[in-house]
Structure 1
Amino acid sequence: MLRDVLTGGRQAMSRETALKAAATVLGAIAGAAAVEGFLREPFQLDVARLTIVSPWLPAGFDGLKIVQLSDLHLHHISRAYRRAIDVVRREHPSLVVITGDLVDRPEQAAACLAFLSQLRGAAGVPVVVVPGNWDHRAFPTKQSIAAWHKRIQAEIGVRVLANQNVVLHRHGDRMWLVGTDDPYFGHADLDASFKGVPDTAFALVLTHAPEAFEELAQRPAARLVLAGHTHGGQVRLPFIGAVRVPSRYGTRFARGLFKLGNTLFYVNAGMGMSHLPIRFLCQPELTFITLTSCRLDESTAG
């Protein structure tokens, strides 16, 4: 009887010790994850590189190198943003594009303009932006968002495309750069965006969110679409990936390269954060995209 009591007591103590050890380990893991998510990753920079091989790309644009940034949510120019400027200065791209969500609030405008000015100076090439849903939150009226876009263009020389397109010329060839307004809040007008763009053209499309992907895939000229908005999920878990993405597609287009029909789509994980100042297993991203032409019987992506 006494032996049973002692045995039971030792078992209870062993369970208590095991529980305390497990709690200690879990606490340590949670602490390390918090440090990683709140204090380390938001200030890192993932420089991604992608080559798009397309049979529709005009030969004159073979080798065109594009830098894509997205979702700045710029409060101040932190280490990640300074590194992005340094990388752009070193790599000499042909074009820099930013796919929306420059600011969260109007009072962040000065910091955003300072970053855009430094970025444009470092790039030495055109910088083009399209609006995102947070830009419309910060400037909620037609007059205020138009004034913000005018300020970006007049003070910094950065082009804003909102349901518009421009023709790019290179080595005797031409392609179209199409920019939609934010599709997440329903501001995108694809008919206006593609006005005058031939169906046989190569159009590089900038849009903020994946919300219009299926509609864009129906546009013959839309050969490559660059987007952001998702932040790559902002918090990703091992073996699971993005936990949540604010999109009607859920996590389907959380980040990376996709193909619908003959259209390629790339979703950038973004630079900034929204709602919570955390990034976990999802560093801020700067993407280099190199365009390469090929024959029709070759691969359309590489």
Structure 2
Amino acid sequence: MRIVSAAALTLAVGAACVAYGTFVESAAYRVRRYDVPVLEPGSEPLRVLHFSDVHLLPWQRRRLAFVASLAGLRPDLVISTGDNLSSPDAVGAFGDALEPLLRTPGGFVFGSNDFQGPRFRNPISYVWKTSAKEAGEAAVMRPDEVREALASGGWLDLNNARGTVDVRGQTIELRGTGDAHESRDKYAQVAGPPAAGTVPLGVTHSPYSRVLDAMARDGVRLVFAGHTHGGQVCVPGYGALTSNCDLPPAQAKGLFRHETADGHSCWVHVSGGVGMSPFAPFRFACPPEVSLLTLTPRPE
């Protein structure tokens, strides 16, 4: 009887955790704030809004309202690191929600779900392997329409591309790659030292070491990434069990210093993400989030 009671209690606790993660925490949106010393000495601070992994479905009104509210943070620069939709029918709603932000300078890259929609996977399998190169994605998405919406206000398409934006009198150089999780990254197309007088920043969807290493060696000061969902299901007091890439789970979200084997380094910010796959629509000890990073002068 004790074994039966313990099993019943375990099932009840598990069901309660799933219900909490699905109906409560999945919509407990947060804004995280960080200071990052990457500007030239004497420069005025800049505020960068970084969002990722919205995974939007057209009927998710609370998520749409949260995205629409982000313009109220009044950033100087906006960075999007992909996996915007979980349904091709959400393109219009996503563009409408972002419209106030599109008036701010920005840049974006895509993740795999910007090309092909999610399909069912056993979420527990992420603990012992990544989801890379699993075939048979369900819906074909509409990346050209998403690209057009994001670029409509002047945001730079940084998928294996490089460009500059002027932000409050400072020239920001942005370089990005395609999704390394799906081997779409072609860093050679953006490689090389930054232009003189610019603040070099990097943008990629999946924070694989090969991309971070290459950017650090080229002098990029801060790299923005997403993809990990912060681990999505975390252990309270411990953190993420997986990063779904080759970074350690402790770096599944947040701001940290990345070091290469040959002594180069850069700051990296990995967003915990706004959404998740509709086939695993829950979070635990890992609320959905965006980040507002204040870029400050480096020490002299």
TM-score (structure 2 length as normaliser): 0.78
Change (3 A) 1:150 1:173: closer
> Which digits, 9 at most, give the CA deviation of each residue in 1:21-57, with x for residues without a partner?
5455434422321221111111120210111123x43
Q: Is the 8 A contact 1:58 1:174 kept in 2?
A: no
Q: Is the 8 A contact 2:65 2:97 kept in 1?
A: no
Provide the residue aligned with 2:282 in structure 1.
278
Q: For 1:39-54, list aligned pairs within 5 A.
A: 39-54=23-38
CA RMSD of aligned residues (A): 2.9
SS of structure 2 residue aligned to 1:226: strand
Pick from 96, 104, 111 the counterpart of residue 117 of structure 1. Answer: 96
Pick from 257, 260, 269 the counterpart of residue 266 of structure 1. Answer: 269
Q: Is the 8 A contact 1:163 1:190 kept in 2?
A: yes
Q: Is the 8 A contact 2:37 2:299 kept in 1?
A: no
SS of structure 2 residue aligned to 1:272: coil
> Which digits, 9 at most, give the CA deviation of each residue in 1:189-239, with x for residues without a partner?
22322467337742111110111222222221x100010100011111123
Residue 241 (structure 2) pairs with residue 243 (structure 1): yes
Pick from 246, 252, 255 the counterpart of residue 254 of structure 1. Answer: 252
Provide the residue aligned with 1:214 in structure 2.
213
Q: Is the 8 A contact 2:105 2:167 kept in 1?
A: no
SS of structure 2 residue aligned to 1:210: coil
Q: After TM superposition, give the deviation of residue 157 of structure 1 in Å.
A: 5.7
- In the alignment of these two chains, the number of paired residues is 270
> Which digits, 9 at most, give the CA deviation of each residue in 1:257-298, with x for residues without a partner?
1212430001101111124111111111111011111333xx
Q: After TM superposition, give the deviation of residue 84 of structure 1 in Å.
A: 3.4
Amino acid at match of 1:214: D
Residue 174 (structure 2) pairs with residue 177 (structure 1): yes
> Which digits, 9 at most, give the CA deviation of each residue in 1:73-113, with x for residues without a partner?
11133313312322x23221112221011124xxx234233
Change (3 A) 1:57 1:183: farther
Residue 293 (structure 2) pairs with residue 289 (structure 1): yes
TM-score (structure 1 length as normaliser): 0.78
Change (3 A) 1:174 1:201: closer
Change (3 A) 1:195 1:278: same
Change (3 A) 1:171 1:287: closer
Pick from 224, 227, 232 the counterpart of residue 225 of structure 2. Answer: 227
Instruction: Looking at secondary structure, tell me which structure has more helix per residue.
Output: 1
Change (3 A) 1:24 1:185: closer
Q: After TM superposition, give the deviation of residue 153 of structure 1 in Å.
A: 4.8
Change (3 A) 1:50 1:112: farther
SS of structure 1 residue aligned to 2:257: strand
Amino acid at match of 1:85: A
Q: Is the 8 A contact 2:240 2:250 kept in 1?
A: no
Q: After TM superposition, give the deviation of residue 255 of structure 1 in Å.
A: 1.0
Q: For 1:73-222, list aligned pairs within 5 A.
A: 73-76=55-58, 77-86=60-69, 88-104=70-86, 108-122=87-101, 124-138=103-117, 147-148=144-145, 150-153=147-150, 158-194=155-191, 197-198=194-195, 201-211=198-208, 212-220=211-219, 222=220
Q: Is the 8 A contact 1:58 1:173 kept in 2?
A: no
Q: Is 144-153 or 208-217 further displaced after alignment?
A: 144-153
Q: Distance in 1 between matches of 2:152 and 2:169?
A: 31
> Which digits, 9 at most, give the CA deviation of each residue in 1:54-77, with x for residues without a partner?
3x43755x2211111101111133
- Stretches of structure 2 that go unaligned for 5 or more consecutive residues are 119-136, 259-263
Q: After TM superposition, give the deviation of residue 146 of structure 1 in Å.
A: 6.7
Q: Is the 8 A contact 2:52 2:226 kept in 1?
A: yes
Provide the residue aligned with 1:7 in structure 2.
none
Q: Distance in 2 between matches of 1:210 and 1:97?
A: 15
Provide the residue aligned with 1:4 in structure 2.
none
Q: Is 77-86 or 273-282 further displaced after alignment?
A: 77-86
Q: Is 211-220 or 123-132 further displaced after alignment?
A: 123-132
Give identity over the alignment, percent.
28
Amino acid at match of 1:181: G
